[in-house]
Structure 1
Amino acid sequence: MSKGTIKKVAGPLVIAEGMRDANMFDVVRVSNQRLIGEIIEMHGDEASVQVYEETSGLGPGEPVVSMEVPMSVELGPGLITSIYDGIQRPLDDIMKVSGGNSLKRGVEVPSLKRDLKWEFVPTAKVGDEVEAGDIFGTVQETQVVQQKIMIPYGVKGTIKEIKSGEFTVEDVVAVVTTEDGDKELTMMQKWPVRKGRPYQKKLPPQMPLVTGQRVVDAFFPIAKGGVAAVPGPFGSGKTVIQHQLAKWAEADIVVYIGCGERGNEMTDVLNEFPELKDPKTGQSLMQRTVLIANTSDMPVAAREASIYTGITIAEYFRDMGYSVALMADSTSRWAEALREMSGRLEEMPGEEGYPAYLGSRLAQFYERAGHVVSLGKEGREGALSVIGAVSPPGGDISEPVSQATLRIVKVFWGLDSALAYKRHFPAINWLNSYSLYLDDMEAWFNENVEADWMDCRQKMMSLLQDEAELDEIVKMVGMDALGPVDRLKMEAARSIREDFLHQNSFHEIDTYTSLRKQYLMMKLVMAYYDEAIAALDEGAPMGALIGLAVRERIGRYKYTLETDIDEEFKKISEELSMEIANTIGKEDF
């Protein structure tokens, strides 16, 4: 082991000398309190160590010991339902050791509980040829998640011995004969967090991650294995959107990273997630969730690690063939931690003081998402979708973190505080948001929902864009300046906004909308516009078309149960045609 001594302490940065034999990104133990840290820079025999715990009280001359391994996470049974800090230490175990809510420094607790026994069910047998990524057993971790135990990376050979029964994560459950001799396998494996887990190949993004949120699925969909950014000012609903996606998105596993967020916000997550009912299974949402809590009052350097810890755990479940959704809330706080460390290292600052490598670090994180074929002979398909919240100061998305993120991600859900103040949720601004996956997924939507899904979407977007232009005229000279066709456009766009895009996350029916129901809602709104335009040409009065009684039923269609949507759609369509036919030849009122 490489041993050195502290030369200088600057907040979370410790300079240690006598570390010539250490390597970049080695984990080190600092001082006699054995604080955990990581080497982030080497100069001759001096190492700059990023310490993941509070450094007050440290002084020159104290020992620094390199563990000669990179920062790694433990992967195995026990991850699901756990709540970790930024460096994968279970907060409940630290609390027991600390004897209270104030966390002590230098606490060493294993990430996976060593005393718990898991029921290991072998799926391979003696004599089977295995290679990295092959599944050789399963563990029913929670009622909803079955963890698949995989052959670790770099192991290839024949199974010599395999056991069945209850074991801890450290017990040997199989022996594989390889070219280098026998390898003993446990249910746990370790993986360095800064290195993406390998896979066979990446697949193109052609299938949407269905979320049940209409503004997302219909207007700005994210692909399975895609990346999205949710920038928005304080109070615009970033956290609520991430909660909705965690609850309703078509993902088997949810990894939620609270990175530098307010403590009370993280407390809400910790209190709400166990109580949220998983709509797919009826169990608690925590039964398929891993939480990483690194609040703003925790050591700043650990924020930097929390993002990598979370995505490595997510990749592990992706390799099993699961669809994983990772929520990072928020990458701005992570970037601020990078800026602080960069300043202490006296590096040349880039824009607004952020380090010059901000863009490349963000890209390294987001590029680990994807729809992939995992290692192993089976060729399992798994997907890791990443949704990162960005909290730009003052809601100004021209700042460096937002701009660097937008260069990498393909979906931008721009939250608008003006919409939030009008109580329009989700407050995603349809005029400046976008999804670059639309062309890739057009065939999937047209094939799996309806052949004219994309046409409907395009017509609705055109109406909303026309409304924005007409709105400028109305503000200047009033509604009376508009012709009948433009008045109808304004009315149809209002219907799209209020009846389709506005969605109540606390309403038991409206909180989730299936793709079929979204399509029927689009058809109803567009049917009103198309039939009203046709009636206008035949002499129907404008006031009668705007005041149709059926419009109330179109607006309330979103509260229809999924089992009744086709019948209700038919009734409303017939009523709409009848009421519009009755307006032709009427006097205006």
Structure 2
Amino acid sequence: MAKTGVIYGINGPVVSLEGDPGFQMNEMVYVGRENLVGEVIGLTSEKTTIQVYEETSGLKPGETVTGTGAPVSVTLAPGILNNIFDGIERPLSKIAEHSGYSISRGISVDALDTSRKWDAHITVKKGDRLMPGTIIAEVPETRAIVHKVMVPPDMEGYVTEVVSDGQYTINEMLVRLQLMDGSERELTMTQKWPIRVPRPTARRFSATRPLITGQRILDTMFPLAKGGTAAIPGGFGTGKTMTQHQIAKWSDADVIIYIGCGERGNEMTQVLEEFSELIDPKSGNPLMDRTTLIANTSNMPVAAREASLYAGLTLAEYYRDMGYHVAIMADSTSRWAEALRELSGRLEEMPAEEGFPAYLASRLSAFYERAGMMRNLNGTDGSVTIIGAVSPQGGDFSEPVTQNTKRFVRCFWGLDKNLSYARHFPAIHWLTSYSEYINDLSSWYMDNVDQKFVDYRNRLMALLTQESSLMEIVKLIGSDVLPDDQKLVLEIARVIRLGFLQQNAFHKDDTSVPLKKQFKMMEIILYLYKKSKTLISMGMPMSVLKEDPIFDKIISIKYDVPNDRLELFDEYRAQVDRFYENVVERNA
């Protein structure tokens, strides 16, 4: 029989019960007459504290709280992809059928469609011994992804009965398993998994392969590994969401989980509409075929905002266990931290810096630590890559969420409002950003792109750093006093900024660029620098060099050379040679 308790205090989303009704920590409960979904977050002999994932107005003391006996969990089965959920895995389309366009309280809908039949190809036979994670069936979930039905991680036994290939719902038996203790269990397509518990793996690998995004400043300058962690901090309007859109659309991840955590409703609507219309460039099918969206807008209860991140992470780990590479876009972890702060205040906990709870750092670390490239229990390899947007108030990177995030991520893509105001996108600033994966990935770049890739990247970075220090002098006394070799550095840095770092998301060739083209672009810029430097050393003034349009021609390579016509770079190299010869002849 379900355990029940009686409400004696309500403080926003935090509900208190007198005494100990026998609930467990993190148990899912139903609160009040409307059966609002909640979670136990505090237990003492005198008091039980519950956070409610729905609006609590109208709730009053004396109403009952009923336990479910299980922690807050997500349902894992075919039907997750090409779907839009709220923060606790309730499909928004089903909610709309029941209550229209605003989510009514206490609404209870199945997380996944239990009546739809799926084509299942059974991959085990009677007598087989199944270990945790063993794939028992394959189901074409969408045109892009084959869903692999697995034995739950806590089960092991022998197959005593198996169905034939055919169409089944997610709750129909596929395999009957005799467990090691002699009991029998029916395995269906469905698993339940607590959102706060990481799914088990066999081992963790170090970072060796990049997540290729097609964005030059990310792939070349500040690469992110598959199974890595990255933060995109930036003020309002600097392009966090747009950068995540580009990564979602063009990266070589198999599955995308987009978590809109506490974002504005109109912005979330735009995301939902855009993602529904996007075409996957790899397959030509809709991008939603390999995407799941979790929408938790700023007007939804704050407690559900806190849960949405863990729900999305658990879905990602489930697809990783099938052997897929999953990328999570968390937009934004600042809103999640604000939810923690509000709940902490209502619980009357001692605040730390800027009112955030003292456990902010440990919660952030627990979230980012669930990323990684893993060997799964079934022997496949998969990864979860976490890309978290951070929205510091006023673009101040010294605030606690950004500073604590910096401690736990190895890739930091700092957005700059001055770049965004200048319409330089992506507005990732090359001097405030960094990636600790460069050394880990250098051998991959050398083997798969070119031996000189990392060296060229470092040389470009050195020129940009040199430009920054020269600009301090220019601001004070003007550029005319600089020697010609330093004027050349400023000009080449301009070519790097406009021709390489700046990228046009709406241009068919520039929106996503293969690594080979990125390398060729670096090579031609450095070749131009080498030839120009030789001319300067021969006594040619920078003013003579700038008379030639070659610098602007190199900038426009990103538009003028199609991604599949890399042989055209030979022509640009010849143009640089002609430029060199012309300057020498004119000034002979």
Partner of 1:168: 169
Q: Which piece of structure 1 moves more, 191-200 or 164-173?
A: 164-173
Deviation at 1:584, TM superposition (A): 1.6
Partner of 2:360: 358
Aligned residue for 2:536, secondary structure, equals: helix
Aligned residue for 1:50, secondary structure, equals: strand
In structure 1, distance between residues paired with 2:514 and 2:536: 33
Partner of 1:449: 449
User: Is 1:345 aligned to 2:342, yes or no?
Assistant: no
- 1:350-391 CA distances to partner (integer Å, 9 max, x unpaired)? 111100000000000000000000002xx1000110000000
Partner of 1:223: 225
Partner of 2:184: 182
Partner of 1:50: 51
In structure 1, distance between residues paired with 2:106 and 2:19: 22
- 1:563-582 CA distances to partner (integer Å, 9 max, x unpaired)? 211x2110110111121122
Equivalent residues in 2 for 1:88-237 (5 A)?
A: 88-98=89-99, 100-163=100-163, 164-180=165-181, 181-237=183-239
Aligned residue for 1:563, secondary structure, equals: coil
- 1:174-196 CA distances to partner (integer Å, 9 max, x unpaired)? 11122232211000100000000
Q: Which piece of structure 1 moves more, 117-126 or 367-376?
A: 117-126
Partner of 1:571: 571
In structure 2, distance between residues paired with 1:338 and 1:550: 54
Question: One-letter code of the match for 1:120?
Answer: A
Question: One-letter code of the match for 1:410?
Answer: R
Partner of 1:28: 29
- 1:264-309 CA distances to partner (integer Å, 9 max, x unpaired)? 0100011000111100010111110000000000111100000000
In structure 2, distance between residues paired with 1:168 and 1:113: 8
In structure 2, distance between residues paired with 1:479 and 1:348: 54
Which runs of no fewer than 5 residues in structure 2 stay unpaired?
Answer: none
8 Å Cα contact 1:453-1:519 kept in structure 2: yes
Partner of 2:464: 464
Partner of 1:245: 247
Equivalent residues in 2 for 1:163-562 (5 A)?
A: 163=163, 164-180=165-181, 181-376=183-378, 379-559=379-559, 560-562=561-563
Deviation at 1:548, TM superposition (A): 2.2
Aligned residue for 1:190, secondary structure, equals: strand
Partner of 2:11: 10
8 Å Cα contact 1:540-1:586 kept in structure 2: no
In structure 2, distance between residues paired with 1:277 and 1:509: 16
- 1:407-450 CA distances to partner (integer Å, 9 max, x unpaired)? 00000000000000000000000011000111111111111110
Aligned residue for 2:408, secondary structure, equals: coil
Which runs of no fewer than 5 residues in structure 1 stay unpaired?
Answer: none
In structure 1, distance between residues paired with 2:523 and 2:546: 18
8 Å Cα contact 1:20-1:46 kept in structure 2: no
Question: One-letter code of the match for 1:170?
Answer: N
- 1:448-469 CA distances to partner (integer Å, 9 max, x unpaired)? 1100111101110010011011
8 Å Cα contact 1:539-1:585 kept in structure 2: no
Deviation at 1:236, TM superposition (A): 0.2
Deviation at 1:551, TM superposition (A): 2.6
Percent of aligned positions that are identical: 49
In structure 1, distance between residues paired with 2:468 and 2:547: 22
In structure 1, distance between residues paired with 2:15 and 2:260: 26
In structure 2, distance between residues paired with 1:505 and 1:339: 36
In structure 1, distance between residues paired with 2:52 and 2:405: 27
8 Å Cα contact 1:5-1:18 kept in structure 2: no
User: Is 1:586 aligned to 2:586, yes or no?
Assistant: yes
Deviation at 1:112, TM superposition (A): 1.0
In structure 2, distance between residues paired with 1:497 and 1:82: 39
Q: Which piece of structure 1 moves more, 178-187 or 205-214?
A: 178-187
Deviation at 1:509, TM superposition (A): 0.9
8 Å Cα contact 2:495-2:552 kept in structure 1: no
Q: Which piece of structure 1 moves more, 44-53 or 551-560?
A: 551-560
Deviation at 1:587, TM superposition (A): 4.3
Please tell me the root mean square deviation across aligned C-alpha atoms, in Å. 1.1
Q: Which piece of structure 1 moves more, 125-134 or 72-81?
A: 125-134
- 1:54-112 CA distances to partner (integer Å, 9 max, x unpaired)? 000011100011111000000010000111000001111111111x1122110111101
8 Å Cα contact 1:540-1:585 kept in structure 2: no
Aligned residue for 2:351, secondary structure, equals: coil
Please report the TM-score for the alignment, with normalisation by the length of structure 2. Answer: 0.98
Q: Which piece of structure 1 moves more, 311-320 or 575-584?
A: 575-584
Aligned residue for 2:16, secondary structure, equals: strand
In structure 2, distance between residues paired with 1:495 and 1:232: 25
In structure 2, distance between residues paired with 1:64 and 1:439: 54
In structure 2, distance between residues paired with 1:362 and 1:401: 9
Question: One-letter code of the match for 1:49?
Answer: I
Question: One-letter code of the match for 2:505?
Answer: S
Question: One-letter code of the match for 2:576?
Answer: L
8 Å Cα contact 1:550-1:572 kept in structure 2: no
Deviation at 1:395, TM superposition (A): 0.5
- 1:202-244 CA distances to partner (integer Å, 9 max, x unpaired)? 0000111010000001100000000000000000000000000
Question: One-letter code of the match for 2:257?
Answer: V
Q: Which piece of structure 1 moves more, 159-168 or 396-405?
A: 159-168
Q: Which piece of structure 1 moves more, 554-563 or 214-223?
A: 554-563
In structure 2, distance between residues paired with 1:54 and 1:75: 26
Please report the TM-score for the alignment, with normalisation by the length of structure 1. Answer: 0.98
Deviation at 1:538, TM superposition (A): 2.3
Question: One-letter code of the match for 2:535?
Answer: A
8 Å Cα contact 1:233-1:395 kept in structure 2: yes
Question: One-letter code of the match for 2:232?
Answer: V
In structure 2, distance between residues paired with 1:537 and 1:24: 73
8 Å Cα contact 1:172-1:186 kept in structure 2: yes
8 Å Cα contact 1:257-1:292 kept in structure 2: yes
Partner of 1:75: 76
Aligned residue for 2:522, secondary structure, equals: helix
Deviation at 1:45, TM superposition (A): 4.3
Deviation at 1:549, TM superposition (A): 2.6
Question: One-letter code of the match for 1:63?
Answer: T
In structure 1, distance between residues paired with 2:455 and 2:255: 33
